[in-house]
Every structure is written in structure tokens, then in C-alpha cells.
Amino acid sequence: MFKKPLWLPTQEHIESAQLTQFARYAIEKNGLNVNNWADFYQWSIDRIDQFWSTVWDFFQILAAQRGDEVTRSTSHDFILRWFPESQLNYAQNLLYRADCADEDIALGFYSENGEKIFLSWRELRDQVRVCADSMKAAGVGKGDRVASILTARPEATVAFLATASIGAIWCACSPEFGAKAMLDRLGQVSPKLIFLIDGYHYNGKNYDCSDKGSQLVNGLTSLEKVVYVKTIFSNHNDCLVSLNDVVDWSDWMTSSSDDPVFFEQFPFEHPLTIVFTSGTTGEPKCIVHSAGGILLQHLKEHVLHADIVKGSRVFYYTTCSWMMWNWLVGSLAAGATTYSYDGYPFAEKNRVFFRLITDEKFTHVGLSAKWIHHCAAENIKPLKKHDLSSVRFFFSTGSVLSPDGFRYVYENFKRDVCLGSISGGTDILSCFVLSNPILPVFPGEIQCAGLGMSVQVFDDASLPCTGIPGELVCTKPFPSMPVGFWGDEDNERYYKTYFERYPGVWCHGDYCEKTERSTFIILGRSDATLKPSGVRIGTAEIYNCLHHFPAIASAVAIGQPWKNDERIVLFVKMQDGFEFDEQMSSKIRSHLATHASPRHVPAKILSVPDVPRTHNSKLAELAVRAVVLGDEVPNIDALDNPEVLEVFKGLEELSVD
């Protein structure tokens, strides 16, 4: 079907884009004979050593040494050692690579309760130095794990960069996690030090973290030091009663030394952070990411694919446990000012982000597809009250942004903007497919595969395909692949997770379509794919159609075994003030049959008061399916609202007897 682009870059956009500057640099440096995006992308995946070497040189990575080797083979065909002779420091590159002026703002922070904090580059650099000195004085060093239970405050960025600067390994959970969920993750990695917040503010309420903090610290027998960050309950010390070796953040951040910061140099693959999967299918995986791989990949994505430059103002709504926080902080290496927000995203009648854009003149704004769809359902038209003229890029991720969601942004946010739907994951701490400042934007489609990322879609015969849904795969190695899983000494779990289905090819677990114009449409997670009559249907295909109905707040679709086949069951949560009835059910069925296909029409549509989500607001489709089938839900603590699963138990309408 022909689609009209929603946005086309002007010739001026194309000429000024950092991607264009990089292409010219790469062509001259390597003697390339390419004159369009498709050929340039093909070079980046055909000559991965040459491409990533050019990326390093273009960005002038700060390093004690680089060496001549770009990759070195290992015993596994897909696993390479990247820049094996190099020595660098991740924090040094974020703090000094762009050579930002001391007095310019590096970090901006806002809280729902009105708190504002700004740090200049001088203040950020000084605080990282002091925090690192305190870590070393506490006996924390190379390879030690540093845990964080913090909101997306400046303290989190300072502690993260201090951790990286001394070669320790950062591990974060969000304060809204339950104590067991935190222990399930941090207990696997045995942290030596933890940064612990007293509480947080969300949707008009203060939440006290003292009890879960005590449970967590008492359960982590490896801890030697606790740094307590007081924000809301400034006089509330219950958390400290049962803890030893506790120091307040303000005391931690005092240093008598004025010595200049020293950045020890580490190998490219030295661990930077351990990130945790949601755990909805079992014990959370502890994925170890390298400092060099993440630095290089993020610079490529930020500067080339998002046109983030020195002085850009980058905002992303994210918690510290979501990979997008690492992505946001990483933009410091490009010289950007990063902005974060802690609190309810729908505050101020869903206008808090629009106010911040107007006040702070953000150039790059990252939001979730869920938030955009909510704005559309509420028919919010920000241009009537807010100035969004500063925004050059909107980013959407977390779930699939529907074609209607794309149109809503262009009709109600801004027309002259690149809407970058991006998709990757915790597994790579970066993107497989993402935005591109020199390509058009089509509704419901992601603009391109990332440079250096050999992304394909495999059909049922394990062959590359276009125009039909299949498995998203990557057929060549890339630097931001995990170093491994923590505790997986022989890499057995690592190989099984990504390479079992297609030996020698990374299988990401996304159900996807590559179009004839090499854009991508994400259709949902492969393990949640529906299969009525053996036909694979991505759940996002159904959810995209449901955005046509403003009365529907959210929904979850599952496949239920039925008479030697599978039937689709759809659960819908209605907006306040609306009721689900037969007329609504009929409208849903008719719309799906017309705008998707008759196979997309659910056999059953049921109303529920809520749907379960993970702590990162992703739909827990597999948990719903497990409950409906009478199976045990693995690691229920991975859910933000596990209590709602009760409504899916023993439903008479779904009896198979």
C-alpha cells in the first residue's frame, strides 16, 4: 500500500546533518564509491572493521591507546573482541570528549513536586571526582559492583560516572520495585556499595522506601557501605536504624583533596554496567555491557542517527532501571545537556512535558508510545498553549507507536520534526532500528536499520524476506553486544538466548516486517505472537487498530489453545466514564476485520479493570496467558501491578471444557 511520508528532510537539513558530515569523512578516508544512503549503509555492514574504525576516528575517542586491531576472532563465530589493544575510560569521554565550557549546563532535573536542579559542566566534573574519591576511600575499585536504588536525579548520573571512572560496575534498580524484585536482581551480582534513596514522589503522593531499603540492605550480605540519599523525608531516618556503615550523601560528597581527576584506562571490553531483564519469563538475566562498546554505539546513534550535537538539549522520560536512562546519559559524550524528570508523566492535566519543552527549549524529546497514545485518546492539542518550536526530534519507544500515533504527533505537536521511533533493547543497550535525519518518516514505520547493524527479517525458512512478517535478526557482530551474562561462566545461557534458533545469527525475539523501502514495522514480541489457524499475528497489529477507539485505555491480547488450534482472546480496559458493551465489542470486531484482517478478529473480547505491566510499563502478555491457562507465572515480582492478575483467573467465558 502506498503511504505518503509525514515528514521529508529539506536539502538544508540533509546538508547540515552530522550523518552527512560523517559520510563525506568516511568516503574520503576510505576511498568509497557511494552516493546514496542505501549504498552507504551497505558499506557499513559489508566492511564492519573499516566502518567501526572510521567511527572511532571521526569521534576522536579519548584513549590512552587505540591499537591497530579493530576485531579479533574468538571460539564463537559471532563473538568478536573489539579494539582488543585499546585502553580508555568511559567517564572521561562523557565528561571531556566534547570539551564543553565549565559554565554551561550539563544536567537539568525536574520533579513532579516542583524540585529543580541544574549542574554546570564544572559542577558535574567536580562532583564525579569527589564521588570517585569517596568510593576509592571506601575500598571500591576495578570490577566491584556498585548498586543504585535512585530516581533519575543528578545524584544518579554523578554516581554512575564516578563508578565508571574507577572501573567499578554499575547496577541499577528503580525505587518503585519491591524488595524481593530488587534482591532477585542485585543478589545475583553481590554489590559492595549501594546508593539508596529515601523515597520518591508520584502522582501527588510521597512513597517511603525506608522499609524496602532495610530489607534490601539486610539481604545483600556483600555490602560494605550504604550511601543514603535524602530527598523527600529529610528528617526520616528509620531506614538507618538496622544498617551499618551508612553515610549520608552530603557527607559522602565532601573531599579535602583538590587533586585533578585521574582517569585510569581500561580495556575496550571492560564492564561498564550490568542491566537486568524484566524477569517475566524466569529469573532476571544479568546482562554485562562493555564501556567501549556502549560509548561507540551511543555516539553513533546520538550524533549520526539523531543529530545530537554540542549544545543540544536532550530530554527523555525514563527511570534509571530502563536502558533509555543509559542512552540519555550517554548523550553527554556528544556535548548535549541532558534533562530528566521524576514523577507522574500525566501531571498538570498531561501537560507537564509540554511546559518543560516550552520553558527549557528542548531540541530532542524522548517519550513512550503509551504516553503519546494517551495524549491522543485525551485529544490533547499542545500547540494551542505551548511553544514546541525548539524540538528537532521526537523519539518514541517502549512499545509500538501506531500509524495513528505518528499522525497525531504531526498534526498536534509539530509538523517540521523528525519523529524517530526506535527499537532495540536491554540486551544491546542500544538500537537495531532507529531514526535518520536524512530520510523521510512514514506512518507506523521505523526509518532504517542502524549503521553497522546488519539487520534482516527471517521468514519461516530462515531466509531474509521483505514485505512479510518474520523474526528480526542481526547477521553480523556489533560492538554493543553483551560481554556476557553475570555468572554464566561458559556463556551457555548467553549462546542459548541469542543464537540457539539461528546458529551464527543474533535472534532478538521481535516479530517484525522489513518493507520494500527498507523501513521496519515492529509487530510485537515473538514469544507473544498469536497463531490462529497457524497464521502468525503480532499483538501490535491488534493494538494499533484499537487506538482508533479513544474510549479504550489499554488492552492485552493472548492466544488460548482451543479445539486443536488457537483462538485470540482480547481483554480491554475502558477509560473512566466509559462502559464496555456489545456495541463496543461489535465495533472492535468490525474495525479489526476491515483494517487488519478477519483473522485478527478475537474469538472473545472481555472487559477488565486493568492490565498487568512490568516496572517499565510494558504489557505482560505472557503473564496473562499463563494465568488464563492455569499455569504458574514465573517471577511475579517483575510486575508493577501483580494484583490485577486475579481478574484473569478462572474466567467462565474462557472455559475449554
C-alpha cell at 131: 564521588
> Does residue 444 fall inside a structural domain?
no
Q: Which residues lie below 8 Å from residue 222, measured CB to CB, with a gap of 6+?
A: 190, 191, 192
pLDDT value of position 162? 98
Is 372 part of a structural domain of the chain?
no
Provide Rg for the chain, Cα atoms.
24
User: What is the rounded average pLDDT for all residues in the chain?
Assistant: 93
Question: Given a cut of 60, is residue 241 above it in pLDDT?
Answer: no
In a domain, 137, yes or no: no
Give residue 175's Cα distance to chain centre: 17
Quickly tell me which residue has 536491554 as its cell: 426
Is the pLDDT at 564 greater than 90? The verdict is no
In a domain, 412, yes or no: no
Query: Is residue 650 domain-resident?
Result: yes
Q: What is the average per-residue pLDDT within 575-581?
A: 92
Least Cα distance to 428 among 491, 366, 367, 497 occurs for 497
| pLDDT confidence of residue 235 | 55
Classify residue 403 by its DSSP letter.
H
CA 311 to chain centre: 23
Q: How far apart are CA 392 and CA 409, in angstroms?
A: 13
Structural domain of residue 608, as residue ranges? 529-654
DSSP assignments along 221-234, one per residue: TT--EEEEE-SS-T
Mean pLDDT computed over 575-593: 93
| Per-residue pLDDT at 256 exceeds 70 | no
Which positions ≥6 away from 16 have C-beta within 8 Å? none
Q: Give the three-class secondary structure for 37.
A: helix
Cα distances from 228 to residues 117, 234, 537, in angstroms, run 18, 11, 48
The Cα 621–Cα 643 span in angstroms is 15
The residue that leads in pLDDT, 269 or 210, is 269
Q: Which of 329, 344, 395 is nearest to 366 (CA)?
A: 395
Q: pTM for the full model? A: 0.91
Q: Quickly state the pLDDT bin for 2 (edges 50, 70, 90).
A: low
Amino acid at 445: E
Q: Is the pLDDT of residue 242 over 80?
A: no
Q: How many domains does the chain have?
A: 1
The answer, yes or no, to whether residue 157 has pLDDT greater than 80, is yes
| Cβ pair 55, 26 in contact under 8 A | no
602 falls within a domain? yes
> What is the enclosing helix (H) or strand (E) of 373?
helix 369-377
Cα distances (Å, whole numbers) of residue 441 to 8, 145, 218, 472, 594: 7, 42, 51, 20, 25
- CATH code (residue 557): 3.30.300.30
pLDDT digits (tens, 9 = 90+) for 91-116: 999 999 999 999 999 999 999 999 99
Is residue 552 assigned to a domain? yes
pLDDT at 1 over 60: no
> Pick from 529, 596, 530, 541: which is nearest to 568 by CA?
530
Name every residue whose Cβ is closer than 8 Å to that of residue 55 and which is 6 or more positions away in sequence. Answer: 296, 299, 300, 452
The x, y and z cell numbers of residue 480, run together, are 554493543
Q: Which of 649, 634, 372 is nearest to 527 (CA)?
A: 634
pLDDT of residue 132: 96
Count of Cβ atoms closer than 10 Å to residue 533 Cβ: 8
Predicted pLDDT at 637? 78
Of the two residues 180 and 10, the one the predictor is more confident about is 10
pLDDT tens-digit readout, 478-495: 999 999 999 998 899 999
**Model confidence over 200-222: pLDDT tens digits?**
999 999 999 989 999 999 999 99
How many C-beta neighbours within 10 Å does residue 27 have? 16
Name the burial class of residue 264, with classes exposed (0-12), middle (13-18) and buried (19+) by CB atoms within 10 angstroms of its CB: middle
The residue ranking higher by pLDDT, 280 or 38, is 38
Q: What is the pLDDT of residues 130-144, one digit of tens each?
A: 999 999 999 999 999
User: Which stretches of 554-617 are DSSP H helices?
Assistant: 582-595
- Give pLDDT, residue 657: 64
**CA of 63: how far to CAs of 90, 92, 93, 98, 245, in Å?**
9, 9, 8, 14, 36
What is residue 600's DSSP assignment? G
User: Which amino acid is residue 651, in one-letter code?
Assistant: L
Stretch 225-232: mean pLDDT, rounded? 93
Residues paired with 148 in a beta bridge: 172, 195
| 606 inside domain | yes
Give the 3-state secondary structure of residue 365: strand
